[in-house]
Structure 1
Amino acid sequence: MRPLVCLGLMSVLSGAARAQTGPDFGRHRGVPVFVSVQIGGGAGMVAVGGGVRLAHQRLEPEVLVGRVPKRYSGSPLTIFTFKTTYVPLRETLGPHWQMGGGLGGFINYTHGATLLNSKDPRKYPDGYYWFSTRVRTGLYVAPRLSYAGRPSTQHPHPPGLTAYAELGTNDLYFLSRVTNRNSPTLRNILTLGFGSKVSW
């Protein structure tokens, strides 16, 4: 019985030691906040925003504002995106690095003169489109790599940096694929984005 108790205490102590030497991504502060920059992924050519980390830093709701320049769309487009990423997979790589995998969903609204309003009776008959062409919803998967800064006396909890990719699709692309099996191809309905987050 005594050897089992000793083994149990050793495992608890070793786990505590690993937790102390693992990356610090804000677990000793209040609710961690972050700012983010993203390229592509349906949020605009470049989008900026921020959010918070909840549920033991596994849930990341955020808001982004993105832009598409005039030369790529006929007139400038502004895209407002709300998205949430859930990160169930996290693996510590040494004292400062962490690798993870997440999945999430988003909804965005695009403002710009080049997009026709699907509910405008002057453009489309009633019921032609049952959804708005300006509002998109979608899903994505998001691998990531994070770095926790080296703590010091002056900065015991330095900012953390996360780089991520997002591969996903939206409702319009998905419905186009389902209703037209020969076109577009699976590759054409996927969106790809890259971004980074700085957290405190």
Structure 2
Amino acid sequence: MGRAQEAMETSIAPQQVAKDTVIIIKHDTVWLEKEKVEMKEKVKVKIDSTDVDQRFSRYDRRVHRYRKHWEALIPTHTKLQFAGNMGLISLGTGWDYGKRNQWETDLFFGFLPKYQSERSKITMTLKQNYMPWSVTLGKGISVEPLACGMYLNTVFGNEFWTHEPDRYPKGYYGFSSKVRIHIFLGQRITYDIPPRWRLGARAVTFFYEISTCDLYVVSAFLNKYLKPKDYLSLSFGLKTQLF
């Protein structure tokens, strides 16, 4: 504390000290700014601050940036999604960002039963979401009338390929059986959990999406007999907002 504390004690009368006291440092000078509760007027008292230096060093700033970058990698939510050409059920985590948290990036791992194939399979999906606006209904409930985006999905297994195997004539298929590109539209409803009831989540969101993929779009254009149910997929999901 040193001379700064002595200066504060000698420069401020006891009756002048009030609530809402803030110390402001500017050009090596400490200003004690307080707001009188009754008069609601601000009073500044100049204090010698030769021994007081709260400015961050270059090392402190570097450590702060280092920690901030690593903290940005901590996921902000988890998701559980049913269907959507990502597997029968998919579990993922992701990050919210943007001025209004209108952007989301998710990473999913899904389970696909074997059905008529020889074995069950694991899928992986990288998903980008965008919610243009949100409407508050009250009592902690809000609605996002439009959620849209795209995602890339792949299936693990040797029977799937990115480039056509040599056993097929060049250009026979013209697409990859391992990676699918999807687009989707949907809606969401969110409930903000009251602070006293929060355990592991701040909010929960229910959503549904209607999606299609590149292969389905091509098939719909080339085969006019196909109906929307043949090239559109309906999926449901639950998002848990961690913080």
Pair 1:93 & 2:137 matched: yes
> Is 1:49 aligned to residue 92 of structure 2?
yes
CA contact (8 A) 1:73 1:114 kept: no
Unaligned runs of 5+ in 2: 1-71
Q: Deviations over 1:87-142 (max 9, x none)?
A: 113110113111112111011111235646661112x1112122211110011012
Deviation by residue 1:34-83 (Cα, 9 ceiling, x = unmatched)? 01110101111010011011112101110101011123543212111011
In 2, the alpha carbon distance for the partners of 1:178 and 1:96 equals: 44
Contact preservation (8 Å) 2:162, 2:179: no
In 2 relative to 1, CA 87–67 (structure 1 residues): closer, same or farther, beyond 3 Å?
Answer: same
Shift of 1:186: 2.1
Displacement of 1:157 in angstroms is 10
Structure 2 distance, partners of 1:150, 1:121, is 60
| Aligned counterparts of 2:153 and 2:200: Cα–Cα separation in 1 | 34
User: What TM-score do the two structures reach when normalised by structure 1?
Assistant: 0.76
Q: Kindly name which structure, 1 or 2, has the bigger radius of gyration based on alpha carbons.
A: 2
Q: Which residue is equivalent to 2:212?
A: 169
Please give the alpha-carbon distance, in whole angstroms, between the structure 2 residues aligned to 1:80 and 1:67: 9
1:1-200 to structure 2, matched below 5 A, reads 33-55=76-98, 56-71=100-115, 73-100=117-144, 101-112=146-157, 115=160, 119-122=164-167, 124-152=168-196, 159-182=202-225, 184-200=226-242
Give the Cα–Cα distance (whole angstroms) in 2 for the partners of residues 32 and 97 of structure 1: 23
> Identity of counterpart residues, as a percentage?
28
Which residue is 2:40 aligned to?
none
Are 2:75 and 2:93, in contact at CA under 8 Å, matched by a contact in 1? no
Distance 2:234 2:199 in 1: 36
2: CA distance, partners of 1:105 / 1:135? 13
Work out the CA distance in 1 between the residues paired with 2:102 and 2:170. Answer: 43
Q: Which runs of 5+ in 1 are unaligned?
A: 1-29
Closer, same or farther in 2 for the Cα pair 1:72/1:150, shift >3 Å? Answer: farther
| Mean CA deviation greater in 87-96 or 141-150 | 87-96
2:161 and 2:176 in contact (8 A); partners too: no
The aligned counterpart of 2:15 is: none
Taking structure 2 as the reference length, the TM-score comes to 0.63
Distance 1:186 1:91, change over 3 A: same
Q: Which range is displaced more, 106-115 or 139-148?
A: 106-115
Query: 1:196 aligns to what SS in structure 2?
Result: strand
Partners of 1:151 and 1:157 within 8 A in 2 = no
Task: Report SS of the residue matched to 1:70.
Answer: coil
CA distance in 2, matches of 1:111, 1:156: 35
CA distance in structure 1 between the partners assigned to 2:119 and 2:161 by the alignment = 13
Say what the alpha-carbon RMSD is for the aligned residues: 2.4
Cα distance in 2 for partners of 1:175, 1:38 equals 26
Q: Which residue of 2 aligns with 1:11?
A: none
Structure 1 counterpart SS, 2:132:
strand
Q: Deviations over 1:11-50 (max 9, x none)?
A: xxxxxxxxxxxxxxxxxxx887001110101111010011
